[in-house]
Chains A and B, each alone.
Chain A
Amino acid sequence: AQKITQTQPGMFVQEKEAVTLDCTYDTSDQSYGLFWYKQPSSGEMIFLIYQGSYDEQNATEGRYSLNFQKARKSANLVISASQLGDSAMYFCAMREGYGNNRLAFGKGNQVVVIP
């Protein structure tokens, strides 16, 4: 079964606007961690933000925020004030349980920021 689901088609975003990238996950564990990564065309994976399953507040890191809805098992990434350099693939990932180091990734969301 797919653990992480990212189903949005590629998105065009106007510079300076906000964009929301959807991510839903599937786990029966109570303790887990959710991550978002950015992959520009050069290929490297850049860590953006982390949300723990027990964190009561949504995570924020600069222009990135994570809209965590635990009951719905969703962890959407919000990028505010988009910049041209935000054009990339964005991947949602999950680490299940404690002591289990396995990371599962979604298929990614393509974002293109246009001036």
Chain B
Amino acid sequence: DGGITQSPKYLFRKEGQNVTLSCEQNLNHDAMYWYRQDPGQGLRLIYYSQIVNDFQKGDIAEGYSVSREKKESFPLTVTSAQKNPTAFYLCASRETDLSTEAFFGQGTRLTVV
């Protein structure tokens, strides 16, 4: 089945460690996104990529890094520079046409311990 897969679903990290969240899609979508969601809040854009080997910062990129070496993969690294990383992280992908919706993964809940 076509879709977008995030792993792991739950992730625990010690303070000061980097951690990478996986996002894979087999929808052949050009654009991919990473969002952060805090309790009771909306989605805030971290990074997005419109094509392979290209990505742009979103609204809250500090402390995060991404890569887009393959069309189907857009991993997000939460670095030790991110001061408050505990959150729910959602990855999405979409075609580049104006009318198409974004498809979301199931999310990764990251907890810093």
Contact = CB atoms under 8 A, between A and B. Distances in A.
B52 to A, nearest CB: 14
**Range, interface on chain A:** 20 to 34
Contacts of A44: 104-107
A9 to B, nearest CB: 11
Nearest to A107: B42
B19 interface: no
Given A43-B88, A44-B107, A103 B42 contact: no
A47 B35 contact: no
Contacts of B104: 37, 44-45
A43 B107 contact: yes
Interface string B94-113: 10101101111111010000
Contacts of A95: 98
Interface in A70-101: 91, 93, 95, 98-99, 101
The 6 residue pairs across chains A and B that have the minimum distance between CB atoms: A107-B42, A45-B104, A105-B43, A101-B31, A47-B101, A43-B107
Interface of A: 4, 6, 31-33, 35, 37, 42-45, 47, 50, 52, 91, 93, 95, 98-99, 101-108
Given A45-B90, A103-B102, A104-B45, 5 more contacts: A33-B98, A33-B99, A35-B101, A44-B105, A103-B45
